Structure 1
Amino acid sequence: MKASPKSNFPAFLMVAVAPLCWAGNIVLAKGVAELIPPVSLAFWRWMVAFMVLLPLTWPYVKRDWRTALAGWKILGLLALFGVTIFNTLLYSAMHTTTAINGALIQTTMPAVIIVISLILYGERVSGIQAAGVVLCVIGAGVVVLKGRWQALIDLALAQGDLLMIVAVVLYALYSALLPKRPNMHPMSFLTYTFGLGCLGLLPLYLWEISAVGTFTLTPGVAGSIAYVALFPSIVAYFCWNRGVAVIGANRTGLFINLIPVFAAILAIIFLGETLKSFHLTGMALILVGFVMFNRQG
């Protein structure tokens, strides 16, 4: 028997927390782009998150070690896509694009989740839901091209925008593969994926130190690492994974479209960024698509 929308309200509320945390992650990454190299920020984000989680989740981690070992392949893939690569690309992208652009580009993720879910699981969507996805993609395209469709022909796209596109495809794959994760406690799952993600980042981190050097640990930098380790990592990932489990990957994926709303507000307040007409047009299309997709098809 399908749960009623009212019974799923706590899950929807939890999912909404994740884009708020991730919007803060994008804005902060842009703000500290000149202070912390991208791989260093990603590595210490996940290392601190792992060290915070491990003592709290140790009983579950110890209990689930056989399950984790049996499912090491899917755990490794989820850690690679969702932890190691996604945030490294996001932090790199913030060097050559704006926080608002980065947030709006993430709205292509639901469409990719749907395509991947269709391929992997044969999931179907109604006509109005498909139209909603198309509107979301068009809205994101308006942002990427800055309202100039000639830019697509000229390939005049910012490097950061392209990195963000690759990043959201990989995180969409992470979201679509979540139902295949081993049957273990949610906090145990997070601890294992964070730890594996750190292992995947370690070679890149050592390379970055040798290539560009390390960073100065000022109070501001330490606070930034603490924020990204706690809120976009532990809090957001738990809420996101719980949402996928309760309301499904497709519906959860559409909540990504709330990131640009939150990010635009935060970027204007903290970074002094400005909303352009193409931002507003793209955001309007995205929000309309979001509403259409969440209608009962």
Structure 2
Amino acid sequence: MKPRKTEMSLGAARQPSTTRGYLAVLAAAACWGTSGIFIKLIMSSIDMPAVSLAFWRDAAAFLLFMGICGIFRRRELRIQKSDWPWLGLMGISLGLFHVSWNLGIFLNGPAVTTVQQAAMPVIVIVVARIAWGEPLTVRKIGAILLIITGTIFVSGMMSSVPSKVTAAGVAAGFCVPATYAAWSILGKKVSGRYAPEVVLTHAFGVAVLVLLPLQFSLASPLPVPPRVWLWFAGLITLSTVGGFFAFAFGLKYLPAGVSSILAMSEILFVSMYAYCLWGEMMTAIESIGALLVICGVIMLLQRRRLKPAESCPAAE
């Protein structure tokens, strides 16, 4: 009987950490859902290329994270040499992710682009299976199929009516999940050894260096109206720093595949924001696609009813 009690106590001890991870990723999704709003407001108000907006967003986030680390994590900023390649690749993928994300928002709108990124968990789950041996369960396979089908529907490729989604918009939309998956996977590689703000400081720093050479050939968006500065501040503090910090925190308690699919709840937040602010609604087939993606999220999070002694949170 003693071993059984020990197993039950361990399961109870793990539950708070798992719940903390779920709440953190959901908070990240809610924060990320606001980025499309701010980007759309900024790019429709001033002539700012997607590459420029990505650069200034990453530069401002880097300075904020550096300030946080300077106050709370000064002694932890040093990175082991073996981890620099991972952080470097993470920063590169982060910079490219923001460029493709900005283009997708500008060309397709926040709701469509957010659902297009839902292909990301498919990449993460497969890589997580190969790299870390995370189980590829029947539920995950079902979620993958739903997500792929839903993403195709939302892309507009299956629609028989004229759509505002262009070929360039579709291409930009499908670049988002690839770059998003890359930084998620690379972040998982180093998230257990450093504090989230330390990882993000270095990743955003690399992203700035990657995008900096591209700025010299672009026209300056200055002067900027005061209201745009307010939207930019929201993009940095809420959408970027808040979202990325919460997701990096959640990665410490959840497998990469689970946290990545849970982050797709951003679709719900974005749809709600877009409808409340602009009355933006998806077409019928796009709505079906979004529903399929959401079903994939629910399928992943459903758990079989296990006996207390057999339960093991985050075992998927």
1:43–1:291 CA distance, 2 compared to 1 (3 A): same
Alignment of 1:52-91 (within 5 A): 52-58=64-70, 62-82=74-94, 84-91=95-102
- Give me the TM-score of the superposition, normalised by structure 1: 0.88
CA distance in 2, matches of 1:186, 1:99: 27
1:70–1:113 CA distance, 2 compared to 1 (3 A): closer
Matched, 1:8 2:18: yes
Alignment of 1:68-217 (within 5 A): 68-82=80-94, 84-145=95-156, 147-148=158-159, 158-181=167-190, 183-209=193-219, 213-217=220-224
CA distance in 2, matches of 1:268, 1:85: 28
Q: Report the more deviating stretch, 127-136 or 63-72.
A: 63-72
Match for 1:234: what amino acid?
V
SS at match of 1:274: coil
Shift of 1:61: 5.5
CA distance in 2, matches of 1:127, 1:78: 30
Show the counterpart of 2:314: none
Show the counterpart of 1:296: 303
1:132–1:198 CA distance, 2 compared to 1 (3 A): same
CA distance in 2, matches of 1:223, 1:108: 32
Shift of 1:290: 1.0
Identity of aligned residues (%): 23
Q: What is the CA deviation profile of residues 214-244 of structure 1, one whole-angstrom value per residue up to 9, with x for unaligned ones?
A: 2431112111211111112211111111111
Q: Report the more deviating stretch, 274-283 or 115-124.
A: 115-124
Show the counterpart of 2:33: 23
Matched, 1:279 2:274: no
Match for 2:36: what amino acid?
I
CA distance in 2, matches of 1:113, 1:54: 28
1:68–1:26 CA distance, 2 compared to 1 (3 A): farther
SS at match of 1:208: coil
1:295–1:5 CA distance, 2 compared to 1 (3 A): farther
Is contact 1:20–1:259 with CA below 8 Å preserved after alignment?
A: yes
Q: What is the CA deviation profile of residues 21-58 of structure 1, one whole-angstrom value per residue up to 9, with x for unaligned ones?
A: 11110222123223232122111112222222323311
Show the counterpart of 1:236: 243
Is contact 2:17–2:253 with CA below 8 Å preserved after alignment?
A: no
Out of 37, 40, 50, the position equivalent to 2:52 is: 40
SS at match of 2:252: helix
Shift of 1:195: 1.6
Kindly report the root-mean-square deviation, in angstroms, between the aligned alpha carbons of the 2 structures.
2.4
Is contact 2:100–2:172 with CA below 8 Å preserved after alignment?
A: yes
* Structure with larger Rg: 2
SS at match of 1:246: coil
Is contact 2:155–2:286 with CA below 8 Å preserved after alignment?
A: no
Is contact 1:129–1:295 with CA below 8 Å preserved after alignment?
A: no
CA distance in 1, matches of 2:15, 2:110: 33
Shift of 1:149: 7.6
CA distance in 1, matches of 2:42, 2:278: 11
Q: What is the CA deviation profile of residues 57-83 of structure 1, one whole-angstrom value per residue up to 9, with x for unaligned ones?
A: 11566423442555221111111112x
Is contact 2:52–2:215 with CA below 8 Å preserved after alignment?
A: yes
Shift of 1:7: 4.4
- Give me the TM-score of the superposition, normalised by structure 2: 0.83
Aligned residue pairs: how many? 289
